[in-house]
Structure 1
């Protein structure tokens, strides 16, 4: 599988909540690092983390860039908080492939509607 196909399948399987399909896209040595929290997950732990994430509903791939065995995708993620209200996030996923499977993902998440920091609110 090439990087463009891998990124498209990565996004589609997450959006479909197809956790076994996601696991199949990932190399046995897969790791995911969440830049915003400093956490790092191995393959099965990362799939389980996503499968059990409370309130997750949709992921839509908005943009992508591919070069060789690397792909970057920017996606819009929608979830629900504990009160059932929608929450919107952006995530940039930096993927690296090895042997046609995703061996690494580095993710950078942002809350889309948190507003500016207090010092810039006016």
Structure 2
């Protein structure tokens, strides 16, 4: 799998909530870092984190750019919680090795967040 295919496959399996397929995409040395929270996960931990995330519904890939073994993607994520529908934007940065996802760095934001006062 090349980097473009990796970004597309990642989005497809997460959107489908296919956690077994997600695990199959990950290199044994996989790591994921969430920049906005400082959390880091290994492969089983990241699959579990996604599978257990409350209220998650959709992960839609909006854009992906790749070169060599690296890809950058932008996605829209929606879900529900006690307050209603939630929408987030995520940018993710992938590295592929041996046809599998080796590294993922994600940056999330709540699209409904108010801009800072200036």
TM normalised by structure 2 equals 0.97
C-alpha separation in 2, matches of 1:6 and 1:63: 13
Tell me the residue number matched to 2:111. 112
Tell me the residue number matched to 2:25. 25
Tell me the residue number matched to 2:67. 67
The Cα shift of 1:44 comes to: 0.2
The correspondence of residues 13-92 of structure 1 with structure 2, limited to 5 A, is 13-83=13-83, 85-92=84-91
TM normalised by structure 1 equals 0.94
SS at match of 2:71: strand
C-alpha separation in 2, matches of 1:114 and 1:43: 30
SS at match of 2:112: coil
Tell me the residue number matched to 2:92. 93
Q: CA RMSD in A?
A: 0.8
C-alpha separation in 1, matches of 2:62 and 2:21: 21
Point out the structure with max Rg over C-alpha. 1
Post-superposition CA distance 1:47-96 (Å, at most 9, x none): 0000000000000000111000000100000011124x100000001000
Runs of 5+ consecutive residues of structure 2 not aligned to the other structure: none
